[in-house]
Structure formats: structure tokens, C-alpha cells
Amino acid sequence: MTDPILQLRGVNKSFGAVQVLHDVDLTVRAGEVTALVGDNGAGKSTLVKCVAGIHPIDSGDVVFNGSPVTLNAPTDAAKLGIEVVYQDLALADNLDIVQNMFLGRERGKSWLLDEADMEQAARRTLASLSVRTVTSVRMPVAALSGGQRQTVAIAKAVLWDSKVVLLDEPTAALGVAQTRQVLDLIRRLAEQGLGVVLISHNMADVFEVSDRIATLYLGRMVAQVPTKDITNTQAVELITAGRSGDLGLQRPESVTV
């Protein structure tokens, strides 16, 4: 077992009067895929946005690589090597793959971009992820399929010196074959030593690729267990009821939002 790369301890987050996250603990280990599951409104996306620095946390600790850090802006997270692949991918259709991957962080001088360097780096990254479906890195993103777009979005996240990649519903809009590609890609990211957090509603995907499942229930972390130790039914019970046998909250019915 590797050391945790990212740890959240007792994280609270409220929006006005609504407390969305209650004392949430989460451990992400390098080289592992941690699946973050939970019903709609359980706080998954809020948790991701807290880690990404979009929503600063109210209280609690974030420990990155053994040292406490504060995440108040997306740039803070990016500097640490935390990258987020959002559900809507955030790609510009009219730009090509290279331009999208380097958007906002172009290499070269402000008055003369280093296209050659960017193109080579983009190709190396795609190649290292064993992406074989893209015919040219100079294709506009508009011409790519859903799975290819997802691939580009993920490649964009790992292009940097990233340590942790959070993926928000990466397979939600994809067909069977494309889902396959993306799941393989997620596995490869973990094999390359990155800490991967996968948010998904699809339990089949979760059980296939994850090493560890973290379940949120009404803003509380009810269980973080190795995937091999629980069954699909138990996971669904944790998601919907907050408890399954010995796992989860002892009195979930008393929990309020």
C-alpha cells in the first residue's frame, strides 16, 4: 500500500444555510483509483470543486503529499498538480487537440507561441496513454467522437506534472466501446502512479476499475473500503440508505441535510 497523496480531514462546506459537506474524510493514494459514489445531491461535485479550489472549504484540513495546503483558487490546485476533468469537458470545439491541451498554459513567448514544442509534447502524452484512435493531433476537437473528446480532456489533465486527477462522470455520455477506451485509460493513469478519483453513477464501471470505493450519503462520508471487500448490493445500499450491515452510518435515519 502506498502513502496517501491527498487527504481530506473533517472538511465542512456550507452554501448559505445549507451544509453540503459534513466532516468529510477522504484519502487518495497514488497508483490507485478511488471511486467517489453517492446519490444525486450527496455532495460529490461539491467535494471535487473544493479539491479543485473552486469552492474554498469552511473548515477541515487538506493534506497533500504529507504537508497541509490551502486551496483557495483553481491555480492553487493546479500548482500542486491536482487536475480536474469536468463533466462537460471544457474543450473549445474550434481549436485543435494541441491548442485545447495547452489552452491557458501555452508554451513559448506571449508574442510567438512554440507550436513545435506543444505539438510534440501533446503527441508524447497521447502516445504514453496509448491513445491509438486519434489520427492527427492537429484535428479540430469538433471532428472528434465523444470518447475521443474525453480522451483529449484526460490527456489535457495529465499533460502537466499532475499527481492527482479527478474525473467527474467521464463515461456518462459515452457508448459501450468508448466507455471501454476511457476505463482502460483511467486504469493506465493509476498504473503510471497518479492518484485518480473517479466520480460515477455506473456501478459496473466503478467495480471494474476502482481499487477503493468512497461513498457519500447526504454530505457525509459513510464508508471508504477496498473494492474487493464489498459487493455491488452493499455499495448500492450504502449509496441509497447510508448503511449496509456493519458498514456506514449506524443511525442513518437521524441524519439531516
Partner 1 sequence: MTAPTEGPEKAQTEQKSPATSAAERAAPASSRAADFGIDTTAKSTGEAIRGYLVSLRSGDLGALPALLGLLALFILFTALAPDTFPSLLNLANLLQQGAGQTIIAMGLVFVLLTGEIDLAAGTASGLTASVMALHLVSNGNLLGAMGTPVFLLFAVVIVVAIVLAVLLKIWAGAIASAGALLLLVIGFPPNPWLEMLLAVLVGVVIGCLTGFLVAKVGMPSFVVTLALFIAWQGVILQLIGDGGTLGLRDPVIAAVANGNLSTLGSWILFVVAAGGYAAVMLNRQVSRRKLGLVAQPTGLVLIKTIAVVVLAAVATYLLTVNRSPGQLPISGVPYVVPLVLVLLVAGTYVLDRTRFGRHVYAVGGNREAARRAGIDVVRIRAAVFVISTAFAAIGAIVYSSKVGSVSPSAGGGNTLLFAVGGAVIGGTSLFGGRGRISNAVIGGAVLAMVNNGLGLLGQPASVVFLVNGIVLLLAAGVDVLSRRRSAVAGR
Binding segment toward partner 1, per CB under 8 A, in 14-22, 110-118, 196-204, 220-228? 110-118
CA angle 133, 136, 138 (to 5 degrees): 135
Q: How many residues bind partner 1 (CB under 8 A)?
A: 61
Q: How far is 89 from 134, CA to CA, in rounded Å?
A: 17
User: Which member of 8, 36, 50, 126 binds partner 1 (CB under 8 A)?
Assistant: 126
Is 221 an interacting residue with respect to partner 1 (CB under 8 A)? no
Interface stretch with partner 1, choices 11-19, 88-96, 199-207, 230-238 (CB under 8 A) = 88-96
Residue 100 CB, nearest distance to partner 1 (Å)?
A: 8
One character per residue 164-203, x = contact with partner 1 (rule: CB under 8 A): -------------------------x-xxxx---------
- Applying CB under 8 A, does 121 fall inside the site for partner 1? yes
Minimum distance between the CB of residue 165 and partner 1, rounded to whole angstroms?
9
Positions in the binding site for partner 1 (CB under 8 A): 74-75, 78, 81, 86, 88-95, 99, 103-107, 110-113, 115-116, 119-121, 123-138, 142-146, 155, 158-163, 189, 191-194
